[in-house]
Chains A and B, each alone.
Chain A
Amino acid sequence: MSTLTGGQISLNLIDNFKEIHPGLTKREAIEEANRCLYCYDAPCIKACPTSIEIPKFIKKIATGNLKGSAKTILEANPIGASCARVCPTEELCEGACVLNNETKPISIGHLQRYATDWAMQQREPLFEVGEKNGKKVAIIGSGPAGLSAARELSLLGYEVTIFEAQQEAGGLNRYGIVSFRLPTEVVQWEVEQVKQLNVDIKTNTVVGVDITTEELLNQFDRVVVAVGMGNVPHLGIEGETLKGVYDAIEFVKRTKMDELTDDLVGKRVTVIGAGNTAIDAATTAVRLGAANVKIVYRRTKNEMTAYQFEYDFAKQDGVEFRWLTTPTKIIGNEQNEVVGLECLKMELGEVGVDGRQKPIPVQQSEFVLETDVVIKAIGQSRHLLLIEGFGLEHSKGVVEVNPETYQTSKEKIYACGDVIFGNGQGEAMVVTAAQQGKEVAEAIHRSFVLQSEIV
């Protein structure tokens, strides 16, 4: 979130992984809520991918109707508690707030957190399962997209089963986004909300391994593929198997699934890449006690995909950036441990197809960065095996869907979330995944209504 301030690093690692922003006090929330103009046809609503009725939920905070407020949020966005914490709000709702040019925008994210925190403490169920309509839907993946689809389908009366490869449900929210921005309890609560609607979540179940794609298609009326993306791909350079080389997602995951360890204390860490994952990995390394953390990126700050606030946060945490630098080789010692990263200097050339200037190597500019750890954060690979297992059309692993219905090339199979992100399709954000999940549920429902199977 935009107002994260980094830099407060404790020697006690556990403290470093507690949620950074303490949340608004009651007074702050009421003052902020009363500052909202309650605009008509408000631009903030339009800027929210899930179209949360922002003035409405804020008004309800102002009048002390916190239940109504939380319900307004969660109705539109089943994972509104996570979104309150991880949405790039200045690019979305807060960026559109009419007060930007007047005073300062309303802290919509913080207010959203205030209301959903209340709901979390109450533990009172806010939604009721719809009347059963006899149809069964399988959802593969329990990330934001899968959970959102499951919630909506369940409200519509479908019998929903989620298959999740990991040991815990929640997708990247559970094990990908660092806990100091998104604590595990929040994700667990959101999963719990979906479970309360009689959604069966089968964890530790890999579709394509533990249950075949045919079995799924035989047992369910519709299948939703919400598997997200995979781990970080190989760099394709020498030394990737050395001790001390990590995949950024696995690296962050360890801090969310296992007890924190002190093996990074005092180490020099180099992160490759400059997207959200790289920032999370770098700040995680700082919080694990690393002595020095660098991000190397082959382009410049202007081309990085991380948001400005993430960059600011990393800077506050003391992360160093090495722009126009590309790794060519990871150097190891006799014990197969990383000792350095050989890099090349780059310069920007012609504008490429994606509108960004292409980086080109500067001849003979090799140099070595001394480092004990290398973390790869150059994007995520695709779940090709599963996609092809279902026989879905895709381009480079990005599943192709009808943009209105999210239907894949197979009639009964839908896809949403990161699995359809890429090649100019959508944006890899929690909130877009949530919205797509909702839309898939609507589309599935419409498909049955159209066939008059449900009236």
Chain B
Amino acid sequence: MADLRISFAGIKSPNPFWLASAPPTNSGYQVQRAFEAGWGGAVWKTLGEPIINTTSRFAALSFNGQRVAGFNNIELITDRPLEVNLKEIYETKKRFPNHAIIASLMVEPKQEKWHEIVKRVEDVGVDGLELNFGCPHGMAERGMGAASGQVPELVEKQTYWVKEVAKTPVIVKLTPNITDITITAEAAVQGGADAISMINTINSLMGVDLDTWNTIPHVAGKGAHGGYCGPAVKPIALNMVGECARNPLIDVPISGIGGISNWQDAVEFILMGATGVQVCTAAMHHGFSIVEDMLDGLNNYLDSKGIASIMDIVGKAVPKYSDWGDLDLNYKVVARINNDVCINCNKCHISCEDTSHQCIDMLKNENGEPYLKVREEDCVGCNLCAIVCPVEGAINMVELKQPLPKMTWNERQSNIARFKIDKVAK
């Protein structure tokens, strides 16, 4: 039994799985059900001035029959009175003193508004605060959410205001709707954030109905951009977490969010620098019970690797994530086809022939049976064939030992520069 407890910026949680601020954490009833099911923490549905929501609100992307590959919403923050939420937070914390309850907050970018709400939520006993600078729709038009999250100065200033009064750890939730997330992450750190969380949802339009020409979803025939999340956004979120984790100026813990659906996804985020994870879409798709396998799978994974505590793997893959300029230009892999496993669909051939480097030959053996072979000298090792190949083990990318030693682009450029300087010196 591995130790799954985490300490996230001082916030203790029985395990790294938290529900993200969203419909699953809308009420005390829901959060308590979630804790009973095994979730370690919950970030309450964002509190602020109650708003009015539209119907409908959600849409999802089905990809080749897989439902909810991506998920889109135009929901705003909580539509329940603050007092009701505060009362339920208080009751929930009392029933589950060892679980983490974080209040997600969003108010107008005014110092007194932040001071006021921070005091009110801390009075009911939350374990931490999450500042929602990320909601991409509706609130942004009122100068909140992503609108303030996209402006580094506003991120810094508002974080600072919160820190002026906050007694519990402050997490800043960042929007991905920005060119370089490390800029706003740095601003949060500058403002005094104890931690950051990412990502909130990505600007999106799910689709257009081919018959009515309505947007999907639409509200009485009109649509507005929504926020995208779910499995499809995981690579985007993982990169943002990795970029922040490897940035020395962003030296605060990270809560990873975005497309996490199972323990494997969680392990990836944790290895890439997250100290815990938050989940929304997967819970919305399947219910709270999915956490059971998240816990069991994570525990079995750690046990099988002989790792005593989840905290021991936080950030272990970060040193492997660097810049393109640090990659070894003399490393070479090529595709190799295992004809015993290959089912001769020729997808590798045509993808290479039409869209890569024309190096998979369609041949016939002495019995006239077709087989495929890679001309390794022409293969650039792009992985495309292995990606399109439907059969596990039919194409392996194998390393070819190179006579030349490791040489990165940066090393190459500095060698050239030194060569020039040497020449000048001479």
Contact = CB atoms under 8 A, between A and B. Distances in A.
Interface of A: 26-27, 34, 38, 40, 56, 59-60, 62-65, 67-68
20 contacts: A34-B66, A38-B286, A40-B287, A56-B289, A56-B292, A59-B293, A60-B293, A60-B296, A63-B264, A63-B293, A64-B264, A64-B297, A65-B263, A65-B293, A65-B297, A65-B300, A65-B301, A67-B300, A68-B293, A68-B297
B262 interface: yes
Contacts of B289: 40, 56
A425 B186 CA distance: 72
A62 B263 CA distance: 11
Contacts of B293: 56, 59-60, 63, 65, 68
A47 B304 CA distance: 34
A430 B289 CA distance: 30
Interface residues of B, number: 17
B66 A65 contact: no
Contacts of B287: 40
Q: Which of B262, B296, B392: most chain A Cβ within 10 A?
A: B296
B297 to A, nearest CB: 4
Interface string B204-243: 0000000000000000000000000000000000000000
B236 to A, nearest CB: 21
A64 B261 CA distance: 13
Contacts of A56: 289, 292-293
Contacts of B392: 26-27
Interface in B267-308: 286-287, 289-290, 292-293, 296-297, 300-301, 304
A59 B287 CA distance: 13
Which 4 residue pairs are nearest across A and B when measured between Cβ atoms? A65-B297, A68-B296, A63-B262, A67-B300
Contacts of A62: 262
B298 to A, nearest CB: 9
A63 B290 CA distance: 11
A125 to B, nearest CB: 13
A76 to B, nearest CB: 14
Nearest to A67: B300
Interface string B330-364: 00000000000000000000000000000000000
A27 B66 CA distance: 16
Contacts of A67: 300, 304
Interface in B295-324: 296-297, 300-301, 304
A60 B66 contact: no
B137 to A, nearest CB: 30
A56 B292 CA distance: 9
A64 B391 CA distance: 18
Given A27-B392, A34-B66, A64-B264, A59 B290 contact: yes
Main secondary structure of the interface of A (DSSP, over half): helix
A27 B391 CA distance: 8
A8 B264 CA distance: 41
Given A27-B392, A56-B293, A68-B300, 19 more contacts: A38-B290, A40-B287, A40-B289, A56-B289, A56-B292, A59-B290, A59-B293, A60-B296, A62-B262, A63-B264, A64-B264, A64-B297, A65-B293, A65-B300, A65-B301, A67-B300, A68-B293, A68-B296, A68-B297
A27 B286 CA distance: 23
A60 B286 contact: no
A325 B286 CA distance: 54
A396 to B, nearest CB: 46
Nearest to B261: A63
Contacts of B286: 38
A62 B289 CA distance: 15
B388 to A, nearest CB: 15
Nearest to B262: A63
Nearest to B286: A38
Nearest to A57: B293
Contacts of A60: 293, 296-297
Contacts of A59: 290, 293
Contact of B297 (A26, A27, A34, A63): A63
A60 B300 CA distance: 11
A67 B290 CA distance: 16
A93 to B, nearest CB: 19
Nearest to A27: B392
Nearest to B303: A67
Interface string B386-422: 0000011000000000000000000000000000000
Contacts of A63: 262-264, 293, 297
Contacts of A64: 264, 297
A215 B292 CA distance: 47
B362 to A, nearest CB: 24
B78 to A, nearest CB: 25
A60 B291 CA distance: 11
B105 to A, nearest CB: 32
A56 B295 CA distance: 13
Nearest to B292: A56
A27 B290 CA distance: 22
A70 B413 CA distance: 54
Contacts of B66: 34
A65 B296 contact: yes
B235 to A, nearest CB: 18
A59 B291 CA distance: 11
Interface string B253-264: 000000000111
A39 B392 CA distance: 29
A419 B325 CA distance: 74
A67 B304 CA distance: 10
Contacts of B263: 63, 65
A27 B289 CA distance: 25
Q: Which of B263, B287, B293, B304: most chain A Cβ within 10 A?
A: B293
A67 B262 CA distance: 15
A171 B114 CA distance: 72
A26 B297 CA distance: 18
Q: Which of B286, B297, B304: most chain A Cβ within 10 A?
A: B297
Contacts of B304: 67
B270 to A, nearest CB: 15
A63 B263 CA distance: 7
A256 B66 CA distance: 45
Q: Which of A62, A65, A67: most chain B Cβ within 10 A?
A: A65
A26 B341 CA distance: 14
A63 B260 CA distance: 12
Nearest to B301: A65
Nearest to A66: B300
Nearest to A71: B296
B284 to A, nearest CB: 13
A327 to B, nearest CB: 51
Nearest to A64: B264
A446 B293 CA distance: 31
Contacts of B262: 62-63
B209 to A, nearest CB: 24
